[in-house]
Amino acid sequence: MDRRLFLGGLGLAGVGCGRRVRTVPPVGLRLAPVRAEVERIFRVTVCVRPFRAAGPRMDVEKVGEKTVIHHYGHGGSGWSLSWGAGALAVEKAMGLGERNVAVVGCGAMGLTAAILLQRAGARVTIYAKERPPEVRSARATGSWTPDSRVALANAVSPDFPALWERMTRASFKMYESYLGLAGNPVEWTERYQVSGGAPARAAEGGLEFAKYVDRIRDITPRAREMAAGTHPFGKREVRQSAGLTFNIASYSRMLMNDFFVAGGRMETVEFHKPGDFARVAEKVVVNATGYGARALWKDESIVPVRGQIAWLIPQAEVNYGVMYNGVFVLGRRDGIVVQGVGAGEMEGYNVADETPDRVAAEAAVRTVAEVFQS
């Protein structure tokens, strides 16, 4: 199990040892178990994270008559960083003095940038080949993971860590305003890291992914070790914390509605080369094409990082996440997502194949069953 990935994904990296760990008094936690049965898998989805070693592309480029603000390449952190990264793109767009702005892309990055542009006073049209639920963003785990595969530690510019912090804090603040709403688009839920199982596979060719969680300790819940007998996972060691969960079905729908209610327009269009942006009426274009930018912009700095999810029928009472033996399971309102993460952040690295692997999906669900047998 890659403990750092899990804790990092929960915003907990580095808090599992030393003075920061507190022991919870025995309170006898009871959890409704996940019905981890392969018969309950209702779909298997795959998508690729648009990873760039140097971090997301955020520069501005002139293409013919158009000014293009790049806004892609957010790796495994797109949902988490979306509002903060979007705010930077909007600053650049609005600084150009144009009030009609095009956004190309309708995933996590395009939708949030479009809404922020509207709030800043722009009239916005989204042009995209797909919209939710067809976009890759709809196939994400749905956790607050702002530094998950966002860059390589040694490939970023010196100002990137501070920029990341700015994006992360701005996003986190915005997410606070999505809590407690009907349909729970965003909510805090508990996370448990459970020891045991087979040793994690060694990640070959391991790269040093950038980790910045130390910069946001003040907004990161602390991990607690749970005393034996206070949790339902038998003799295993358990660490508990909490994380933001994005219930992407209702959250995306809310974002789409917000965009349309504010007068947004949307057109279904596919662009094949940068020069095709000449087809849009607006002079300023935010390029939020995610992994699609690799082909569209011939940007081979984007590395695909494949991730697969087996979806189990949701259980209203299962509203927590568990990491065990290289598998992460997260109870969401729109499904219980089960994801193999055994190779840590190298899992799926440089794999562009988006074909679902049913055998791997069932194996991951069986691992989840094992942890609830205790």
Ligand X SMILES: Cc1cc2nc3c(=O)[nH]c(=O)nc-3n(C[C@H](O)[C@H](O)[C@H](O)COP(=O)(O)OP(=O)(O)OC[C@H]3O[C@@H](n4cnc5c(N)ncnc54)[C@H](O)[C@@H]3O)c2cc1C
CB of 91 to ligand X, least distance (A): 18
Q: Where do contacts with ligand X occur on this chain (CB under 6 A)?
A: 47-50, 72, 74-80, 104-110, 128-130, 135-137, 139-143, 145, 269-271, 288-292, 296, 307, 309
CB of 229 to ligand X, least distance (A): 32
CB of 92 to ligand X, least distance (A): 17
CB of 183 to ligand X, least distance (A): 19
Question: Please, which residue, 109 or 151, has the CB nearer to ligand X?
Answer: 109
Question: Please, which residue, 74 or 231, has the CB nearer to ligand X?
Answer: 74
Question: Please, which residue, 39 or 270, has the CB nearer to ligand X?
Answer: 270
Question: Please, which residue, 161 or 292, has the CB nearer to ligand X?
Answer: 292
Question: Please, which residue, 226 or 334, has the CB nearer to ligand X?
Answer: 334
Question: Please, which residue, 58 or 269, has the CB nearer to ligand X?
Answer: 269
CB of 269 to ligand X, least distance (A): 6
Question: Please, which residue, 136 or 231, has the CB nearer to ligand X?
Answer: 136
CB of 19 to ligand X, least distance (A): 29
Distance in angstroms (rounded) separating the CA atoms of residues 302 and 323: 28
CB of 148 to ligand X, least distance (A): 6
Q: Which amino acid is at 168?
A: T
